[in-house]
């Protein structure tokens, strides 16, 4: 069990506080973990360990029902007793010897004369029983395991603060705060306890009157923090059932990053605005006394968790986003007394009158809008109606419900506003009711309709990373993704160019920029697609990369070739000797008549995509067998410019005009034998192809002559480090399913990118490294003329310094080219070795598709030459 301890712990020899929540104390193997961790901590630090525990999971809820005077309290007590006796049996402990007295005390509380009137001191005693039981059975188990553990009653050590004037009676007993400044005498008395390791209860404390008090929600975390502060502990560890704090709720955003290290202020803000792993109350005692905190996973103690401390690096940027639902907005318009002294006080007096605590406030010339957080308020319909009625005397009242508050937390939010503009453009469709930026410069919250917030967080999280507003490259702050921690990321094989580095460096000697293609990778991708049993024929869309060696390699693998111009067809016949025209597809868009005529003359399969060409050029098509491309009315893809479906796209016959096309074709004796749809490129969504097959099969029945359904290309590849390889197995399964539904049709695919993107790299040489206004740029001798994807599609390509591949990527650069355009930018804020210098050979990865084939001579720069690597280095 590593969970490495910082060096200063080892030296201190003082106390470490470990807190375990309900789920961490409800299973026998978890208690084994607790024992192991405590022992390991004591040995590693040479110090002493205090374990603070919650009640077994679910027990506090039962006790709350009993304290509230539930009718069936006796039955609930009996069930609690059975639960604890059962658990002791699992722990192989004698229930009567260990818990007999405590269970009797629990039963006794029901017979207590106070039980009928349920005064608060009695309720506190009831609520305290859960932790007293769990800590007692835990102490017995740990001792039975041979560990030197002492048990202590937390009430002997935690003293509730005197009641505050504005506190309710309830809060004075059931939601108390405690002293956390200790004197030498307290520490000495505490240290005087005989055992090296101690276990005690979270949640409970001594009331001023000598009775029991409880800490309220998040009480156990807060108890641990109090003890940590009182003891001047070297660390407070909060053990939970998640691996730490994340940049978003991982259930909603699986790509959320672990937050490895935070300062107290940011942690406080994150816990206050959403993260449930740690109660916000628990941070202040540790912050005030400078005690580091750690959040760790009991089930996986080897994970590093989240560390919160004073010396965390201060990195500006968004650290986390959260969403709170059920927020109510109350807006008061046309306030008559606007700008009169005390008008705001009058408005807020009404909120106070209805017992409502206001979260955010926005004001304009004639409007005051406030948000009410459901976790802080009882927002019943009655309360809101009564409030609205009172406010109605001041102005026009509007209650907007239900809303969601989306909060961005991070240091220096103000300085990020320019980057956030890119981010905000991703949800311009949502109506933003209110924006609030905290004066501590730590958070920015916007309030939208709850329905609009669905699905927004993953998008927002990705946009924050893309824009650089969430600086995930700061590895001291940001750890791995949730999916990665949970092993849900498909591994990516080592890229070929790492093994071929010597050969690439040699090729770079012969001149840069240049493209290099790795044929073994092309063949490997081809073989992966050949394994798809549901697919009958495969074509390669040559526009992705028409290099002769690639066309021949794929033709050898049995692929047909898909062309979009007559020049591409001629190229195919020229460089793939003897290729059967039946293996060539022609899928043009708005091509001139001659191209159709010559393609037909060459005997290739021609795809048409509108009625007009049959009508205008009847003689070209009369009596021919053709394929038809249909626009299914929706598209997809990695960028709007590669979305080739829907009203905005020029491709395909509108589904509204299929019947018209059928008429026209019949008149000309044209036979439609295949239907085609290609709706976009870089499609990640599995349902896309299924839906496409279903729809195409529906149209095919209207023709009666269709034998083939061509579902196009569009398979994605993992460009960015957080992208995963396309899930071919899942794809194969979904195609097999549709194939089974439509057995009458042969299935055809025509990918481009998938086959060649990863097989190609662009080699370039660094020309200059220049600092300007805090941004360091490294220039390459390749520009957007050589690889236009970043400029045209905002595409992300990995960029490495091939020369210094073993040096740590400890510098940050914008990578640019030599073209006179602002968009001549390969990557922003890229991590590269700090020493990157002019003359270094740089590599732009995954440039095999739409790289050289889209290159131009803009600025009269030469087209990069192309090399092919086939087979291992000699
Ligand atoms: C470009 C294109 C393809 C290949 O698209 P990829 O995204 O590279 O797989 C397939 N079919 C047609 C008609 C195309 O135009």
State the Cα–Cα distance between residues 732 and 728, nearest whole angstrom.
6
Identify whether residues 44 and 185 lie together within a single domain: yes
User: 12: pLDDT confidence band, cut at 50, 70 and 90?
Assistant: very low
Number of domains present in the structure of the chain: 4
Q: How far is the centre of ligand 1, averaged over its atoms, from the C-alpha of 749 (Å)?
A: 9
How many other C-beta atoms lie within 10 A of the C-beta of residue 400?
Answer: 18
How many other C-beta atoms lie within 10 A of the C-beta of residue 40?
Answer: 16
DSSP at 864:
P
CA distances, 362 to each of 331, 344, 355 (Å): 9, 12, 20
**What is the average per-residue pLDDT within 818-835?**
95
In short, whether 643's Cβ falls inside 6 Å of ligand 1 is no
Q: Tokens 């993107």 map to which residue?
A: 757
- Helix, strand, or coil (residue 408): strand
* Pair 747, 785: CB distance under 8 Å: no
Identify whether residues 31 and 179 lie together within a single domain: yes
pLDDT at residue 6 greater than cutoff 50: no
**What is the average per-residue pLDDT within 213-240?**
94
Identify whether residues 440 and 356 lie together within a single domain: yes
In short, whether 606's Cβ falls inside 6 Å of ligand 1 is no
CA distances, 603 to each of 534, 577, 581, 583, 737 (Å): 27, 15, 6, 10, 33
pLDDT at residue 491 greater than cutoff 80: no
**What is the average per-residue pLDDT within 63-85?**
95
Higher pLDDT, 428 or 704: 704
In short, whether 712's Cβ falls inside 6 Å of ligand 1 is yes
Identify whether residues 526 and 654 lie together within a single domain: yes
Question: pLDDT tens digit string along 361-416?
Answer: 888 778 889 999 887 777 788 888 999 999 998 889 999 989 999 999 998 888 88
Q: How far is the centre of ligand 1, averaged over its atoms, from the C-alpha of 604 (Å)?
A: 18
Identify whether residues 520 and 444 lie together within a single domain: no
User: 459: pLDDT confidence band, cut at 50, 70 and 90?
Assistant: confident
* Pair 468, 829: CB distance under 8 Å: yes
- Which pLDDT does position 9 carry in this prediction? 42
Q: Which tokens go with 197?
A: 């390791």
CA distances, 792 to each of 642, 788, 795, 850 (Å): 10, 6, 8, 11
Tell me the CB-side half-sphere exposure of residue 56, using CA atoms within 13 A. Answer: 21
Percentage of the chain beyond pLDDT 90 is 66
Q: Is the dihedral of CA 85, 86, 88, 92 positive or negative?
A: positive
In short, whether 243's Cβ falls inside 6 Å of ligand 1 is no
In short, whether 306's Cβ falls inside 6 Å of ligand 1 is no
* Pair 40, 259: CB distance under 8 Å: no
pLDDT at residue 692 greater than cutoff 90: no
Could you identify the atom of ligand 1 that is nearest to the CA of residue 752?
A: 8
In short, whether 752's Cβ falls inside 6 Å of ligand 1 is yes
In short, whether 678's Cβ falls inside 6 Å of ligand 1 is yes
C-alpha dihedral, 643 to 649 to 655 to 660, nearest 10°: -150
pLDDT at residue 644 greater than cutoff 70: no
Could you identify the atom of ligand 1 that is nearest to the CA of residue 753?
A: 8
> Which residues sit opposite 675 in a β-bridge?
628, 709
CA nearest ligand 1 atom 11, residue: 712
Where residue 861 sits, what CATH number does that domain have? Answer: 2.40.37.10
Q: Which of 525, 529, 537, 562 to mutate to test the pocket of ligand 1 (most atoms within 8 A of CB)?
A: 562
Q: How far is the centre of ligand 1, averaged over its atoms, from the C-alpha of 540 (Å)?
A: 8
Could you identify the atom of ligand 1 that is nearest to the CA of residue 642?
A: 7
Q: Is 416 inside any structural domain?
A: yes
Q: 820 an active-site residue?
A: yes
Q: Is 72 inside any structural domain?
A: no
In short, whether 485's Cβ falls inside 6 Å of ligand 1 is no
Question: pLDDT tens digit string along 646-680?
Answer: 677 889 999 899 999 999 999 999 999 999 998 76
Burial class (CB in 10 A: 0-12, 13-18, 19+), 428: exposed
* Pair 379, 328: CB distance under 8 Å: yes
CA distances, 487 to each of 345, 450, 468, 483 (Å): 54, 32, 26, 6
pLDDT at residue 873 greater than cutoff 50: no
Question: pLDDT tens digit string along 24-44?
Answer: 999 999 999 999 999 999 998
Q: Is 510 inside any structural domain?
A: no
β-strand pairing of 841-844 with 799-801: antiparallel
Contacts of 636 (CB under 8 A, 6+ apart): 643, 645, 679, 680, 683, 685, 688, 714
Q: Which tokens go with 588?
A: 């043009």
- Which pLDDT does position 232 carry in this prediction? 93
Q: Is 114 inside any structural domain?
A: no
Query: Which residues form the domain of 402?
Result: 318-470
User: 686: pLDDT confidence band, cut at 50, 70 and 90?
Assistant: low
DSSP at 865:
P
Q: How far is the centre of ligand 1, averaged over its atoms, from the C-alpha of 847 (Å)?
A: 16
Identify whether residues 741 and 774 lie together within a single domain: no
Q: Which of 730, 751, 772 marks a domain boundary?
A: 751
In short, whether 716's Cβ falls inside 6 Å of ligand 1 is no
Q: What is the 3-state secondary structure (H, E, C) of 439-481?
A: CCCCEEEEEEEHHHHCCHHHHHHHHHHHHCCCCCCCCCCEEEE
Q: How far is the centre of ligand 1, averaged over its atoms, from the C-alpha of 644 (Å)?
A: 10
Could you identify the atom of ligand 1 that is nearest to the CA of residue 644?
A: 15
Could you identify the atom of ligand 1 that is nearest to the CA of residue 850?
A: 8
Picking from 117, 100, 98, the residue whose alpha carbon sits closest to that of residue 108 is 100
- Which pLDDT does position 568 carry in this prediction? 98
Could you identify the atom of ligand 1 that is nearest to the CA of residue 750?
A: 10
Identify whether residues 215 and 154 lie together within a single domain: yes
In short, whether 544's Cβ falls inside 6 Å of ligand 1 is yes
- Which pLDDT does position 637 carry in this prediction? 57
- Which pLDDT does position 585 carry in this prediction? 98
**What is the average per-residue pLDDT within 555-560?**
98
Q: How far is the centre of ligand 1, averaged over its atoms, from the C-alpha of 534 (Å)?
A: 19
CA distances, 90 to each of 57, 84, 85, 720 (Å): 16, 10, 9, 49
Picking from 724, 248, 681, the residue whose alpha carbon sits closest to that of residue 464 is 248
CA distances, 762 to each of 692, 857, 858 (Å): 35, 16, 17
Q: Which tokens go with 584?
A: 């060539």
Rg, the chain, Cα only: 34
Residue from 286, 403, 693, 820 carrying the catalytic annotation: 820
Where residue 18 sits, what CATH number does that domain have? Answer: 3.40.1160.10
In short, whether 681's Cβ falls inside 6 Å of ligand 1 is yes
Q: How far is the centre of ligand 1, averaged over its atoms, from the C-alpha of 678 (Å)?
A: 7
Identify whether residues 354 and 426 lie together within a single domain: yes
Q: How far is the centre of ligand 1, averaged over its atoms, from the C-alpha of 799 (Å)?
A: 25
Q: Which of 525, 554, 560, 712 to mutate to test the pocket of ligand 1 (most atoms within 8 A of CB)?
A: 712
* Pair 90, 107: CB distance under 8 Å: no
Where residue 391 sits, what CATH number does that domain have? Answer: 3.30.2130.10
Contacts of 249 (CB under 8 A, 6+ apart): 256, 274, 275, 322, 323, 457
Q: Which of 609, 678, 760 to mutate to test the pocket of ligand 1 (most atoms within 8 A of CB)?
A: 678
Q: Which of 207, 240, 273 marks a domain boundary?
A: 240
User: 436: pLDDT confidence band, cut at 50, 70 and 90?
Assistant: confident
Q: Is 281 inside any structural domain?
A: no
* Pair 760, 515: CB distance under 8 Å: yes
In short, whether 529's Cβ falls inside 6 Å of ligand 1 is no
Could you identify the atom of ligand 1 that is nearest to the CA of residue 680?
A: 7
Higher pLDDT, 451 or 140: 140
**At what angle are helices 658-668 and 687-703 packed, to 10 degrees?**
40
In short, whether 564's Cβ falls inside 6 Å of ligand 1 is yes
Mean pLDDT of the chain: 90
Cis bond before residue 209 (omega within 30° of 0): no
Most confident residue range from 215-224, 253-262, 389-398, 578-587: 578-587
* Pair 644, 676: CB distance under 8 Å: no
The distance of Cα 621 from the centroid of its chain, to the nearest Å, equals 52
Question: pLDDT tens digit string along 164-174?
Answer: 877 788 889 99
- Which stretches of 121-280 are assigned E, i.e. beta strand? 149-151, 197-201, 204-206, 212-214, 235-240, 257-259, 261-262
Identify whether residues 578 and 721 lie together within a single domain: yes
Could you identify the atom of ligand 1 that is nearest to the CA of residue 676?
A: 13
- Which pLDDT does position 645 carry in this prediction? 66
Q: Which of 751, 777, 810 marks a domain boundary?
A: 751
- Which pLDDT does position 104 carry in this prediction? 97
Identify whether residues 851 and 820 lie together within a single domain: yes
Q: Is 184 inside any structural domain?
A: yes
In short, whether 609's Cβ falls inside 6 Å of ligand 1 is no
Identify whether residues 430 and 574 lie together within a single domain: no
- Which pLDDT does position 723 carry in this prediction? 78
**What is the average per-residue pLDDT within 82-95?**
96
Identify whether residues 637 and 729 lie together within a single domain: yes
pTM listed for this prediction? 0.69
State the Cα–Cα distance between residues 256 and 269, nearest whole angstrom.
17
């Amino acid at each position: 069990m590593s969970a490495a301890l910082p060096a200063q712990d080892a030296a201190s020899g003082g106390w470490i506080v470990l807190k375990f929540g309900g789920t961490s104390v409800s299973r026998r193997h978890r208690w084994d973990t607790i024992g192991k961790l405590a022992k390991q901590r004591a040995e590693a630090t040479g110090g002493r360990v205090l374990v603070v525990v919650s009640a077994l999971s679910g027990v506090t809820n039962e006790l709350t029902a009993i304290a509230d005077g539930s009718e069936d309290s006796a039955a609930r007590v009996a069930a609690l007793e059975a639960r604890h006796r059962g658990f002791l049996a699992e722990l192989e402990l004698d229930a009567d010897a260990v818990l007999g007295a405590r269970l009797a005390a629990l039963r006794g509380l029901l017979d207590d004369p106070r039980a009928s009137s349920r005064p608060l001191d009695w309720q506190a005693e009831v609520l305290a029983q859960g932790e007293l039981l769990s800590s007692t059975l835990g102490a017995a188990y740990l001792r039975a395991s041979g560990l030197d553990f002492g048990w202590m009653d937390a009430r002997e050590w935690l003293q509730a603060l005197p009641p505050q004037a504005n506190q309710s009676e309830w809060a004075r007993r059931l939601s108390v705060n405690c002293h956390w400044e200790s004197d030498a005498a307290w520490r000495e008395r505490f240290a005087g306890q005989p055992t090296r390791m101690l276990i005690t209860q979270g949640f409970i404390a001594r009331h001023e009157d000598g009775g029991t008090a409880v800490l309220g929600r998040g009480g156990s975390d807060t108890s641990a923090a109090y003890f940590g502060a009182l003891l001047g502990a070297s660390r407070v560890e909060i053990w939970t059932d998640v691996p730490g704090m994340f940049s978003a709720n991982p259930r909603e955003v699986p790509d959320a990053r672990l937050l490895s290290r935070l300062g107290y202020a940011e942690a406080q803000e994150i816990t206050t605005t959403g993260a449930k792993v740690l109660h916000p109350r628990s941070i202040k005692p540790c912050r005030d006394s400078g005690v580091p905190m750690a959040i760790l996973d009991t089930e996986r103690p080897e994970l590093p968790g989240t560390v919160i401390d004073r010396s965390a690096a201060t990195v500006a940027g968004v650290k986390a986003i959260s969403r709170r639902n059920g927020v109510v907005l109350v807006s008061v318009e046309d306030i008559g007394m606007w700008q009169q002294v005390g008008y705001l006080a009058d408005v807020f007096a009404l909120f106070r009158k209805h017992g409502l605590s206001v979260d955010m406030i926005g004001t304009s010339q004639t409007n005051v809008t406030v948000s009410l957080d459901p976790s802080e308020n009882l927002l019943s319909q009655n309360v809101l109606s009564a409030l609205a009625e009172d406010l109605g005397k001041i102005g026009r009242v509007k209650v907007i419900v239900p809303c969601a508050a989306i909060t961005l937390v991070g240091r220096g939010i103000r300085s990020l506003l320019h980057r956030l503009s890119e981010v905000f453009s991703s949800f311009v469709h949502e109506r933003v009711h209110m924006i609030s930026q905290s004066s501590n410069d730590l958070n920015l919250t916007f309030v939208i309709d709850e329905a609009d917030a669905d699905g927004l967080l993953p998008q927002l999280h990705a946009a924050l990373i893309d824009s650089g507003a969430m600086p995930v490259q700061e590895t001291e702050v940001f750890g791995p993704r949730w999916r990665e921690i949970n092993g849900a990321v498909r591994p990516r094989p080592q890229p070929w160019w790492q093994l071929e580095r010597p050969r690439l460096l040699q090729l770079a000697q012969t001149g840069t920029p240049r493209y290099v293609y790795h044929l073994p990778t092309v063949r490997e991708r081809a073989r992966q697609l050949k394994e798809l049993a549901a697919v009958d024929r495969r074509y390669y869309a040559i526009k992705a990369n028409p290099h002769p060696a690639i066309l021949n390699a794929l033709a050898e693998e049995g692929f047909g070739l898909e062309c979009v111009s007559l020049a591409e067809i001629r190229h195919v016949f020229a460089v793939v000797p003897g290729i059967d025209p039946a293996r060539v597809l022609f899928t043009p868009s708005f091509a001139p008549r001659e191209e159709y005529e010559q393609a037909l003359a060459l005997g290739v399969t021609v795809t048409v995509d509108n009625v007009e060409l049959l009508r205008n050029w009847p003689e070209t098509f009369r009596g021919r067998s053709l394929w038809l491309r249909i626009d299914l009315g929706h598209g997809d893809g990695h960028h709007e410019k590669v979305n080739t479906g829907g009203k905005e796209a020029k491709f395909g016959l509108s589904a509204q005009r299929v019947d018209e096309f059928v008429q026209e074709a019949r008149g000309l004796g044209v036979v439609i034998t295949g239907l085609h749809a290609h709706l976009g490129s870089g499609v990640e969504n599995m349902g896309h192809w299924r839906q496409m097959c279903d729809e195409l099969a529906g149209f095919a029945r209207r023709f009666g002559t269709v034998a083939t359904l061509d579902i196009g290309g569009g398979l994605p590849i993992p460009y960015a480090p957080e992208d995963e390889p396309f899930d071919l197995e899942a794809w194969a399964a979904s195609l097999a399913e549709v194939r089974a539904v439509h057995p009458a049709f042969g299935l055809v695919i025509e990918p481009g990118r998938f086959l060649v993107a990863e097989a190609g790299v662009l080699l370039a040489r660094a020309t200059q490294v220049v600092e300007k206004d805090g941004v360091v740029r490294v220039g390459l001798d390749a520009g957007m003329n050589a690889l236009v994807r970043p400029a045209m599609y905002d595409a992300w390509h990995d960029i490495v310094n091939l020369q210094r591949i073993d040096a740590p990527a400890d510098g940050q650069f914008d990578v640019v080219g030599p073209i006179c355009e602002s968009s001549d930018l390969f990557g922003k804020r890229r991590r590269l070795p700090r020493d990157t210098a002019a003359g270094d050979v740089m590599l732009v990865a995954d440039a095999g598709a739409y790289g050289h084939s889209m290159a131009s001579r803009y600025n009269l720069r030469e087209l990069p030459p192309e090399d092919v690597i086939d087979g291992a280095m000699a």
